[in-house]
Amino acid sequence: MSKLLEGKVALVTGGSRGIGRGICEVFAREGCDIALNYHTNDAAAEEAAAAIRALGRRVITYRASVADRPAMKRVVQEVLADFERIDILVNNAAVNRPDMFLTMSDKAWDEVMGVNLNGLFNVTKPVFKHMARRRYGRILNISSIAGIRSVPTSVHYATSKAAAIGFTKMLAREGAAFGVLVNAIAAGIFDTDLGNTLPDRFREGYEMWCSVGRLGRPQEVGELAAFLVSDRNAYMNGEVIILDGGTVT
């Protein structure tokens, strides 16, 4: 049987660590070449790239913040020059700040929205235009259960992730006419740097609420993501799949 993503090219934002790296590694295992976007950690990006190469796939890293619109336009142009096409886009890059709304600063709000929400537009717009011209594409947005349920996390983070769900649903309607399918994963708490920014009491409580009894592993997002962006998924569009180990909230 052929691999799920044999011969495809994927651009993954925030691909050097955590869920992003898990997605990149599963995609590479399934035959996909990777354009790996990251922001600051050169060592982590190279480590992730080495793991992808070890799986026999081509990978190029691109350093830029998704919050920087001109920079991301350049990144997309560079990816197209290097790989000639983008079949798959995974919008994974995100930040969180453990703030209370009462004391939240304007800077914290703008930072989270700049990456988590504006970043969606900055990356997706040039990629979507490319996919629409080709009449083919798969876009996957990594959202969160915080965008769906009332969980003890920051207001700015939850707001940005709820917006990602609306973005997914409306872009899916527009994209379908061009052969572009758009879906999202609403992730629970995963054992990542981002997940570890949460207070210990919340992470411990999550493990009690979760029917599986543990935090998720990044590769587990990758396994679901690989199917969602593959050609074996030809009919699911505009959906938000919850992947949280079965919480009871």
Q: In whole angstroms, what is the distance from residue 112 CA to residue 44 CA? A: 22
Lowest mean pLDDT among 14-23, 173-182, 202-211: 202-211
Res. 207: pLDDT tops 80: no
Predicted confidence at residue 111, as pLDDT, reads 97
Lowest mean pLDDT among 94-103, 112-121, 193-202, 205-214: 193-202
Tell me the mean pLDDT in the region 215-226.
Answer: 94
Counts of helices then strands in the chain (DSSP H, E):
8, 7
Predicted confidence at residue 211, as pLDDT, reads 85
* Alpha helices (runs of H) in the chain, residue ranges in sequence order: 18-29, 42-54, 69-83, 106-116, 118-134, 155-176, 200-209, 218-228
Fold of 9-243: Rossmann fold (3.40.50)
Angle at 111 between CA 41 and CA 229, to 5 degrees: 65
Predicted confidence at residue 125, as pLDDT, reads 98
Mean pLDDT of the chain: 93
Q: Active-site residues: which are they?
A: 157
